[in-house]
Amino acid sequence: MEILLFFLLFLSFFIAIIAFVKTKDHLHPSVLSAIFISLPLIIAMQRLSGLQAKEWNFLTYTLFCYALIAFNYLPFFISIYCNNKYKSGEQVKKSKIFITNISNKLIYFFSILTLVLYLFENKVLVGHFVPVLSTSNLTSIHLISLPIISMITKGFIPILALLNFTKYKFNANKYNLIMCLFLIAIPMTRLSRFDIILAVLAIIFLLSDIVKNKKRFFNLTAILLIVMSLIAAYLGEFRLTHGYQYQLSYAEGIDYNYYAGPFNIFAVLYGYFPLSFENVNSFINRNPDFDDLQWGKVMLRPLLAGLLKFDNIFGEAYPLTDFLYKYSNYVSPYATVHTATIEFALDFGYVFSIIPMLFVSLILTFVYINSLRYSSYRLAYYIIAQGLVFYSFFNMFFEPKMIYQICLLLFIIIVSGLLNQRKIKNYI
């Protein structure tokens, strides 16, 4: 089974190359899945940690094969069938017209609202507008949140940062750039890295589409990602050691057998991404006959729990994050994520986990195919495609954060359209 998985992995890179050549789009789902699913999985199979098993369970290999079929092969064949190409110059012109028609007042309103509520949440829960300066509990301050308000503070930052930056880039409005920087910076008050990463990643996606000198851009992006990785590793180590009050090492925590790098960056990256695949095998070994099936409640969590708040109605009976933790068997307390894979198996079991994978992949591919023609879909794709980027870390597809961003984007687009119609009528 390991040989089959290796074959499918190397085939995924071949497919990614063909997808790029055919569509002229570096953000094609097959390209992203090859980089962010296949590559970390191959690295994981090198077993650089002493905590890893020498051989994985048959079901583990099966789930990883499913993931490649759903997120690499399926988008490739659908996009080839549709025969659409990404025309960069034409799309940039469309994007400029589209973003010009987006109401800047709406973007400002939601941006200021998010910033104010973020500081309010800090003050109420910690007693300080900048919690990182007032508490010694650095390991958990990034988790604080208030009901309802958290839908905004934890859900809107990346998409608002993207919209502000897009306005700045196409309409040369420096105030949008300032607002974007505030939105990216405010999570630092809690040492929260994830919203910053999501916002920067969405902006990188946008820039990769509109810059003319692609080679120079990708070189600069590589440097930026290295710097961001170092900063993220430093913040992680800073939180882990409570501001270096304790002598703790992430590399030792995951029994990393090779050079850990500055701030243990190589060990941190290995623990956050490749080692997560080991937790899938560990989960399956602990629950070989998993039968607490949820029949779609996990797959539909962004809608049922994120928007409709069914979790408040059913309480602990609704399968949120704690449900997964109940069955988990982490190889190390320093590596406590399962990639996106395991959550796909919670609804219909291991054998039929490909069903929710295909469901998500079809939505992703639908948005992608339309993003080759419509700017609104392209912005939405910048958000949804992050699920592929973080696949080897956790299942972002099932996170309410994603649907909050899409809903806000839709709301701003629809209201902007109504306002523009009113403006046109005033001149008739």
Supply the pLDDT for residue 61: 96
Supply the pLDDT for residue 428: 35
Does position 310 have pLDDT exceeding 80, yes or no? no
> CA 406, CA 383: separation in Å to the nearest integer?
8
Query: If you average pLDDT over residues 238-244, what whole number do you get?
Result: 66
Instruction: Write down the residue that tokens 């790029």 correspond to.
Output: 20
Is the pTM higher than 0.85? The answer reads yes
Give the residue with greater pLDDT, 38 vs 139.
Answer: 38
Does position 245 have pLDDT exceeding 70, yes or no? no
Does position 312 have pLDDT exceeding 90, yes or no? no
Supply the pLDDT for residue 89: 64
pLDDT confidence band for 60 (50 / 70 / 90): very high
Beta-carbon count within 10 A of 387 CB? 24
Supply the pLDDT for residue 205: 92
267-289 pLDDT, tens per residue? 888 888 889 999 999 999 999 99
- First-to-last alpha carbon distance for the chain, in angstroms, is 68
Tokens of residue 207, six digits: 């820039």
Beta-carbon count within 10 A of 269 CB? 17
Does position 136 have pLDDT exceeding 60, yes or no? no
pLDDT confidence band for 316 (50 / 70 / 90): low
Q: Does residue 9 fall inside a structural domain? A: no
Tokens of residue 28, six digits: 């094609």
Instruction: Write down the residue that tokens 């609704």 correspond to.
Output: 318
Lowest mean pLDDT among 48-62, 122-136, 211-225: 122-136
* Residue 274 lies in domain: 87-428
Query: If you average pLDDT over residues 25-46, what whole number do you get?
Result: 94
> CA 299, CA 351: separation in Å to the nearest integer?
16
Is there a contact between 68 and 12 (Cβ–Cβ < 8 Å)? yes
Supply the pLDDT for residue 427: 34
Supply the pLDDT for residue 84: 72
pLDDT confidence band for 233 (50 / 70 / 90): confident
> Where is mean pLDDT largest: 115-119, 153-157, 269-273, 310-314?
115-119
Q: Does residue 278 fall inside a structural domain? A: yes
Q: Does residue 40 fall inside a structural domain? A: no
Supply the pLDDT for residue 294: 84
pLDDT confidence band for 167 (50 / 70 / 90): very high
Q: Does residue 58 fall inside a structural domain? A: no
Q: Does residue 224 fall inside a structural domain? A: yes
Query: If you average pLDDT over residues 302-330, what whole number do you get?
Result: 70
Percentage of the chain lying above the pLDDT 70 cut: 89
User: Sign of torsion, CA 419 420 421 427?
Assistant: positive
Supply the pLDDT for residue 87: 66
Please list, residue by residue across 230-247, b when 16 or more beta carbons sit within 10 angstroms of its beta carbon and e when fewer do: eebbebbbbbbbeeeeee
* Total domains present in the chain: 1
Query: If you average pLDDT over residues 71-91, what whole number do you get?
Result: 83
pLDDT confidence band for 426 (50 / 70 / 90): very low
Angle, CA of 408, 418 and 381, to the nearest 5°:
35
Lowest mean pLDDT among 7-21, 236-250, 273-287, 288-302: 236-250
Does position 108 have pLDDT exceeding 70, yes or no? yes
Percentage of the chain lying above the pLDDT 90 cut: 45
Is there a contact between 337 and 40 (Cβ–Cβ < 8 Å)? no
Mean pLDDT, the chain, integer: 86
Is there a contact between 63 and 283 (Cβ–Cβ < 8 Å)? no
pLDDT confidence band for 143 (50 / 70 / 90): low
CB under 8 Å to 189, separation ≥6 — which residues?
118, 119, 122, 129, 130, 131, 132
pLDDT confidence band for 309 (50 / 70 / 90): low
HEC profile of the chain: CHHHHHHHHHHHHHHHHHHHHHHCCCCCHHHHHHHHHHHHHHHHCCCCECCCCCCCCHHHHHHHHHHHHHHHHHHHHHHHHHCCCCCHHHHHHHHHHHHHCCCHHHHHHHHHHHHHHHHHHHHHHHCCCCHHHCCCCCCCHHHCCCCCHHHHHCCCHHHHHHHHHHHHHHHCCHHHHHHHHHHHHHHHHHCCCHHHHHHHHHHHHHHHHHCCCHHHHHHHHHHHHHHHHHHHHHHHHHHHCCCCCCCCCHHHHCCECCCCCHHHHHHHHHHHCHHHHHHHHHHHHHCCCCCCCCCCCCCCHHHHHHHCCHHHHHHHHCCCHHHHHHHCCCCECCECCCCCHHHHHCCCCCCCCHHHHHHHHHHHHHHHHHHCCCHHHHHHHHHHCHHHHCCCCCCHHHCHHHHHHHHHHHHHHHHHHHHHHHHHHHCC
Supply the pLDDT for residue 424: 42
Q: Does residue 29 fall inside a structural domain? A: no
Does position 425 have pLDDT exceeding 50, yes or no? no
> CA 281, CA 41: separation in Å to the nearest integer?
12
Q: Does residue 56 fall inside a structural domain? A: no
HEC profile of 69-81: HHHHHHHHHHHHH
Q: Does residue 13 fall inside a structural domain? A: no
> CA 105, CA 113: separation in Å to the nearest integer?
12
CA 210 to chain centre: 22
Supply the pLDDT for residue 29: 96
Give the residue with greater pLDDT, 82 vs 88.
Answer: 82
